Structure 1
């Protein structure tokens, strides 16, 4: 499906969507095609089950958590514009974005990328990553390759190193601080075309 004006005309508020997300019209057309390939019922909405048909998510230990990130506040279905806004977080940061000090923070900023990652851990949405939440992630990521005792030690040490206020949990600010030397912009970026 090529990008043309008739495709763009089908997209509600396409100009605002392009401006808000930073995607080009070509990217939006490509995403529109991808959205509709997932929308088997052709209702203009995607469910969690639609995302579960993506093979890369099916084999990813964090696949369910990534899928849930597309459905904030317990929503059951998302439309195309919500789909694009969520994916915009993963758009690579451009040099021009890094230099604009007085402009609003773009969707794909370092802070927003970190917030997306933080929310994958913070499943109870209390604004902190608890020992239990971190342990769950580690179990998913390493499976049976590491003993439970080793996982608990890694979890305890990680919390201890990142926890600056002594509450035995990692807040978003502590999470950001612990990752300040990591190239998050590159790690949490996807080339869309």
Structure 2
């Protein structure tokens, strides 16, 4: 970034403002916070530095959040946070949510992806079979259909056929979230 990792130049700010949902003042505030998080001065935030954020300490989803932010530089940090800006476009919010739920990064949200997220939320309070039923119902409620399989641990029997939920595409996400006020749910103040 600019001349060195500790300096944010006007050209950098202009570029970042143009590609994010944040104002110049917000970018400068985020940069100050980023520098405080980057305790070793590497120009990136690693998992241990990210875990120093007090607001995340009690969040059960912190392992997934850390996966998304681990090793990011300032521009990547802003790009990820941009989905939470007050002026973020709806598409950016949906992209972030989709990426959050697509744990394995294969471009779809599968039962296994949702199971990973739900497991973080419930910890060991539910057995695997109960959690699998809850995830299956959530996937069906979200609009996933069932598809026949050759079998496997994740499948269940339905009328003598092994089935699992069809993975959700980004288009499925968009369709299902079309009436959800994401700007009220996904927003941070800088």
Q: If the length of structure 1 is used for normalisation, what is the TM-score?
A: 0.74
RMSD: 2.4
Match of 2:118 in 1: 138
> Counterparts of 1:46 and 1:12 in 2: how far apart (Å)?
22
> Counterparts of 2:89 and 2:17 in 1: how far apart (Å)?
16
Match of 2:144 in 1: 163
Give yes or no for contact 1:128–1:169 (8 Å, CA) kept in 2: yes
Match of 2:78 in 1: 84
Match of 1:15 in 2: 14
- Evaluate the alpha carbon distance shift between residue 12 and residue 83 of structure 1 in structure 2; reply closer, same or farther with a 3 A threshold: farther
Unaligned segments of structure 2, at least 5 residues: 1-5, 148-164
Task: Say which one has the larger Rg.
Answer: 2
Q: If the length of structure 2 is used for normalisation, what is the TM-score?
A: 0.75
Secondary structure at 1:129 match in 2: coil
- Evaluate the alpha carbon distance shift between residue 11 and residue 48 of structure 1 in structure 2; reply closer, same or farther with a 3 A threshold: farther
| Higher helix proportion (structure 1 or 2) | 1
Give yes or no for contact 2:102–2:109 (8 Å, CA) kept in 1: yes
Unaligned segments of structure 1, at least 5 residues: 1-6, 72-76, 94-107
Give yes or no for contact 2:109–2:169 (8 Å, CA) kept in 1: yes
List, as ranges, runs of 4+ consecutive aligned residues in structure 1 with deviation greater than 6 Å.
Answer: none
How many residue pairs get aligned? The number is: 167
